[in-house]
Structure 1
């Protein structure tokens, strides 16, 4: 396909579009899909979550730590004042850590934070730079925790319908767990569930029977 030739609308082959193939596929298709993805991400992640994820990317070791940014990492630490009480010490550690790992050939081929955390423990750098390692652990757990929360909020819109608007908090929590952890619950057989209910001693039916 010649990207410089005129674009022909397959539904209206005789009508001139006034654009070429490159414009159609780049602007009308590719950029349109990107806009939809950005809009979807903005709807699912608020400003704070997006900023946290951007700060986490500053810790990535890919490209021999080309994305390392101490300003963003210090900004990330400010969200957790209980874990990082002295940012001056953290800033000093970050500078020493970057200088150390960029001169260490064992860290040259790393691509993700998980491998970096494992290598830090292997080389004992997690004891030399404890605050940096604290950031690494935060970077590994935060995306999972954020995704879990987003999944729960999405599930809440489905579970708490108009007919269930007045359900109790406990019942809603149990329903959300069942909805979010579908794959885990599918492994539990019906026989196990029935046996569990038979072993429960405080069921309503049994209470009525005792009272009678």
Structure 2
């Protein structure tokens, strides 16, 4: 590919993948092959994929949460097994909304209380767990009514028994507690996931967001139990779900009764579930997102212009130039020290630069004010920082678009034609701004043609006597 497009591997400065072993393998992965040719093509694991790995690890690692999502999947499958059940669910949801509106429990308004349906969670689909739980919370009463109806009038005994068991599990304090807990935890990580999937995301912003989410998770771990318990208790009280006494003893989860391993309800719900989920979440974020603390990314974070360049670090930026020593000669690295001192002084004295809130906006402002010519070495550092990808969500969307363009009816499409169509589809926002006349004029100028593009407007003359 590099040879075809006349590109040089020596100019490669970064590589990012979704974490597949054949791509990021330390011994035989594609990353290793690239680094053997060019050691300056630093690898950054897609942050969005790492975050999804965190969510999956928490779901599969905590027994109570794994059991919760297992029941959630079964409930979704049960109430969505047929068009008839889906219609019943939507009708129940509609009827409940009407009752709540009549009693003034909710307010009506534009784009409020739209028709929704349950969504199935998927480990490989970013944000699907959070979406499922939100819908589950909104349609709780309707789902319970549908399960109750199936338990009474199901087609066979298996369906009736399964629906009855799922309804019992659903209307338990533990199920409601985990629902509220995961809504809060996934709410934080889902916002981060959506931000990381933005097309113009850069490393500095990604690092700051990850640090913020870690801080919020730790705050939830320290101070979030009591508010969670109150909201769960209120939810249960409104639906006649039994709330256990937190001082009562119960059998420890995972132990047989003959072991007589007893714990208090408070210990079970707070330590075994609440603390375990948050501790594992924080630990997994530190493990999977460990690259945020590496030498390279710490140096790049010093370029962040937010908060009046509060993250600026002179020594770290000199170190960054040493990391990319192939792009900076020994003389330039020596000159960079003084240039950084002048640069930060000028930046802090200028209101227009203090208003920058991202690395990309800073680079744009430097070019617009022609300051990139005054501080060429600093601008080179910023360009290198903007080169590295923090997420491959845009690339994932490209692969998804390929399935739209090259379908069964167009499976004989050649590579060149496919590439051209892919460019038009992926960059459709840019192509939408180009007028048809411009395209036809360019096409007509490629070679001489019989007709004229765009067609010239004919002038009609009226003949009068």
Shorter-normalised TM-score: what interval? 0.5 to 0.7
Aligned pairs for 1:11-50 (under 5 A) are: 12=250, 15-16=263-264, 27-42=275-290, 45=291, 50=294
Q: CA deviation at 1:192?
A: 4.8
Q: Structure 1 residues 26 and 56 mapped into 2: Cα distance closer, same or farther (>3 Å)? A: farther
Q: Structure 1 residues 10 and 180 mapped into 2: Cα distance closer, same or farther (>3 Å)? A: farther
Aligned pairs for 1:59-208 (under 5 A) are: 59-85=303-329, 86-142=332-388, 144=389, 147=391, 181-190=398-407, 192-196=410-414
On the 8 A contact 1:84/1:90 being kept in 2, the answer is: no
- Deviation by residue 1:121-151 (Cα, 9 ceiling, x = unmatched): 1111100000000011011012x1x656xx9
Which one has the largest radius of gyration?
2
On the 8 A contact 2:305/2:357 being kept in 1, the answer is: yes
On the 8 A contact 2:306/2:357 being kept in 1, the answer is: yes
* Larger CA deviation: 122-131 vs 19-28: 19-28
Q: CA deviation at 1:2?
A: 4.0
What is the alpha-carbon distance in structure 2 between the residues aligned to residue 31 and residue 123 of structure 1?
A: 47
What is the alpha-carbon distance in structure 2 between the residues aligned to residue 56 and residue 96 of structure 1?
A: 19
Instruction: Give the gaps of 5 or more residues in structure 1.
Output: 152-176, 200-212
How high is the TM-score relative to the length of structure 2?
Answer: 0.30
What is the alpha-carbon distance in structure 2 between the residues aligned to residue 73 and residue 56 of structure 1?
A: 7
Q: Structure 1 residues 38 and 11 mapped into 2: Cα distance closer, same or farther (>3 Å)? A: farther
What SS does the aligned partner of 1:68 have?
coil
What is the alpha-carbon distance in structure 2 between the residues aligned to residue 78 and residue 34 of structure 1?
A: 33
What is the alpha-carbon distance in structure 2 between the residues aligned to residue 67 and residue 21 of structure 1?
A: 40
Number of the residue aligned with 2:84: none
Instruction: Give the gaps of 5 or more residues in structure 2.
Output: 1-224, 230-244, 252-261, 418-465
- Deviation by residue 1:64-84 (Cα, 9 ceiling, x = unmatched): 100000111111111111211
What is the alpha-carbon distance in structure 2 between the residues aligned to residue 22 and residue 11 of structure 1?
A: 14
What SS does the aligned partner of 1:127 have?
coil
On the 8 A contact 1:2/1:21 being kept in 2, the answer is: no
On the 8 A contact 1:70/1:91 being kept in 2, the answer is: yes
What SS does the aligned partner of 1:82 have?
helix
Q: Structure 1 residues 9 and 79 mapped into 2: Cα distance closer, same or farther (>3 Å)? A: farther
**Greater length-normalized contact order (CA 8 Å, ≥ 6 residues apart):** 2
Q: CA deviation at 1:54?
A: 1.3
What is the alpha-carbon distance in structure 2 between the residues aligned to residue 59 and residue 128 of structure 1?
A: 17
Q: CA deviation at 1:18?
A: 7.7
